[in-house]
Structure 1
Amino acid sequence: MTGARRDTRSRPPGDAEGDATRPARTGAQAGLRHAANPTGAATRTTGTPGTPGAISEGTPRTTTRETPPPSPRPRPDAVDVVVAIPAHEEEDLIASCLTSVLRALAHAHRTGEVREARVLVSAHRCTDATAARAEAALADLPPWCTSKVVADDGPTPVGAVRHRLLERADDLAGTTWVFSTDADSRVPSDWITGMLAAARPADGPPAAAVAGLVDVEHWHADPAAREAYARLVESGLTPTGHSHVYAANLAVRLADYRAVGGFPAPEHGEEHGLVAALRASGRRVATPHHPSVATSGRTPGRAAHGLGELLARIAEDPCLPDDTTPPPLDVVA
């Protein structure tokens, strides 16, 4: 949950961020459709329609209940996925996060790229309604998707929280893909499919992990601060990738995650530690520009040395950090 994140102003044209920034539909599950005429009643008109004395009356009719469409046939390269989300005092945002995640999972299942999914939420040291609202948002899931909301009173840092949460995936095969995001973030509908596509390019070797970008929303800063932040982010972009890492938009194959010991537990920057370990072991990490995840620009933030702290520093003095002396990567990404 650390790192510099792109401001929504600078989102490139055609970015698949549209659905991630729409207001959340709390409690609505992706892919569910409601019948337009649940009663099954037909209307019969006697007499000449539109003339005095014509009577409309509801009459019963025999209807055939539509059977739900069968689950799409998985593609030969379809995978199972687990989405892991730590949350601390996030009762206001957890439902919108989960609604966006379920929408992305439904899209990936509908296209045949995901067979089964599991959503894991850690309500870490919460004194509010985070857990209850997460449970409500995860009610009535389709048969191919399961969920678990766990109360975690264990120690910080957040890297340890993420690692403990993913221990709930110990029963899953190594071919499963782990997707990481944050409770104050909203993912686009092509999040799962886009990250998997980046991991399996048609013209190159597969990747063990994918590190995506993020867009900041609801950051109330003056133009000078926004420009300073944009320069900071753009300094890490290349035509084919970038040098940033965000726990809010990260995916890794479970076997590779396990091989390097999972999320480390430094005071901050656990996502950087994980990606560094993957690269040090010779594993490839893809860094696409899209899809990007919308994340909160609130200050102060939940995590020490995280986004909120960085944005507050830039808002206070847009010259910090400057273009010649960027902050350490474990703070900026």
Structure 2
Amino acid sequence: MNTRSTPPPSARISHVLVVVPARDEEERLGTCLHHVQLAMDQLAFHHSVTVRLSVVVDSSTDGSLCIAQEVSKRDPRICSLNVKVGSPGRARDAGIRAGLDGVPASELAGVLVACTDGDTFVPADWLVSLVNVANEGADAILGTVEPDPRDTDPDLAKLWHERHDPLDGTEHIYGANMAFRADAYLQAGGFPAYDIGEDAALIRTLRDAGKLVVGSTAVHAVTSGRLQGRTAGGFAGYLRDLQPGLRRGERRLPAHDMAYPGSYPSALPRRQ
């Protein structure tokens, strides 16, 4: 088991890089970025750290790029990238490497990379919570998610809540809500070039290297409950797999499936 005391001052978080990949997310991206900005504001209030946001628009055919560019024009902390890599993992990696360009190797341990998605809303204390956990010694932090009730079929949402333990969820991996130190990420080789499952693969590599991976139900987010996602699997694919249970009336998930972290009404943002 990995154990670690509070890291030395040199390893405390001094900079946060938020990376948001987006593909054809014009309906939710503006609200997503608004809530990330609120989290950036609260982080600056509570911690003496610098924070930047990289929005990586990948192969979009809608207005996502225009939204990202407009937001970046109004907020100097934000930059937008336009790539054609065809996967969230590759898009995340592009945003991370661009954001770390020029950072001295000696400072990478103090850089926390926080990831969410263009269809996900985070609470205002999201970054504060991530930095607090990292400053306790974590190399990587796994947050929790729940499907947005406003675009999730009510019966499917009910099944989700019934099947997920409100006290569990801290060992499950969601690319839409995770963070890691930049040095650990680069040592692990970054997100692998997978179409799906790159988040779980990265965490396996970090654990195999002896890095401390901490799950926290205090780090929560709300993601789209749609059934047709931007990849073949992902969270939308998981929700699709739940649908047969509506007919069978099942209540339990197999042990290897993702677990639900509990209901956090305060995390549910209002539409802008």
Q: How far is 1:232 from its partner?
A: 4.1
What's the C-alpha RMSD, in Å, of the aligned pairs? 2.6
Aligned to 2:157: 226
Aligned to 1:12: none
Q: Deviations over 1:96-132 (max 9, x none)?
A: 1111111111111112342x22211111111211111
Distance in 2 of aligned mates of 1:255 and 1:321? 43
Partner secondary structure for residue 180 of structure 2: strand
Aligned to 2:21: 86
Q: How far is 1:320 from its partner?
A: 8.9
Give the ranges of 4+ consecutive aligned residues of structure 1 lying more than 6 Å apart after TM superposition.
Answer: none
The structure that is helix-richer by fraction is 2
Distance 1:124 1:280, change over 3 A: same
- Does 2:65 align with 1:131? yes
Partner secondary structure for residue 195 of structure 2: coil
Aligned to 2:196: 268
Q: Indicate conservation of the 8 Å contact 1:98/1:138, yes or no.
A: no
Q: Indicate conservation of the 8 Å contact 1:86/1:123, yes or no.
A: yes
Distance in 2 of aligned mates of 1:269 and 1:313? 16
Q: Indicate conservation of the 8 Å contact 1:263/1:271, yes or no.
A: yes
Q: Indicate conservation of the 8 Å contact 2:229/2:235, yes or no.
A: yes
Question: Which amino acid counterpart does residue 207 of structure 1 have in structure 2?
Answer: A
Question: Which amino acid counterpart does residue 93 of structure 2 have in structure 1?
Answer: H
Matched residue pairs, number?
A: 244
Aligned to 2:127: 192
Question: Which amino acid counterpart does residue 131 of structure 2 have in structure 1?
Answer: L
Distance in 1 of aligned mates of 2:193 and 2:225? 24
Distance 1:158 1:320, change over 3 A: farther
Distance 1:82 1:112, change over 3 A: same
Partner secondary structure for residue 267 of structure 1: coil
Distance in 2 of aligned mates of 1:243 and 1:78? 23
Q: Indicate conservation of the 8 Å contact 1:125/1:152, yes or no.
A: yes
Q: Indicate conservation of the 8 Å contact 1:222/1:315, yes or no.
A: no
Partner secondary structure for residue 18 of structure 2: strand
Question: Which amino acid counterpart does residue 165 of structure 1 have in structure 2?
Answer: G
Q: How far is 1:140 from its partner?
A: 2.9
| Aligned residue among 41, 44, 47 for 1:109 | 44
- Structure 2 residue runs of 5 or longer lacking an equivalent are 1-10, 261-272
Aligned to 1:178: 113
Q: How far is 1:293 from its partner?
A: 0.8
Distance 1:147 1:315, change over 3 A: same
| TM-score normalised by the chain length of structure 1 | 0.67
Question: Which amino acid counterpart does residue 89 of structure 2 have in structure 1?
Answer: G
1:1-333 equivalent positions in 2, closer than 5 A: 77=12, 79-114=14-49, 116-141=50-75, 146-154=77-85, 156-168=86-98, 169-172=100-103, 173-174=107-108, 175-201=110-136, 206-217=137-148, 218-223=150-155, 225-234=156-165, 237-238=167-168, 242-318=170-246, 319=248, 323=252, 325=254
Distance in 1 of aligned mates of 2:207 and 2:22? 28
Partner secondary structure for residue 287 of structure 1: strand
Q: Deviations over 1:228-247 (max 9, x none)?
A: 32344328x44xx6221111
Question: Which amino acid counterpart does residue 179 of structure 1 have in structure 2?
Answer: A
Q: How far is 1:322 from its partner?
A: 6.5
Q: Indicate conservation of the 8 Å contact 2:12/2:135, yes or no.
A: no
- Structure 1 residue runs of 5 or longer lacking an equivalent are 1-75
Percent identity between matched residues is: 26
Q: Indicate conservation of the 8 Å contact 1:93/1:184, yes or no.
A: yes
Partner secondary structure for residue 218 of structure 2: coil
Distance 1:216 1:113, change over 3 A: farther
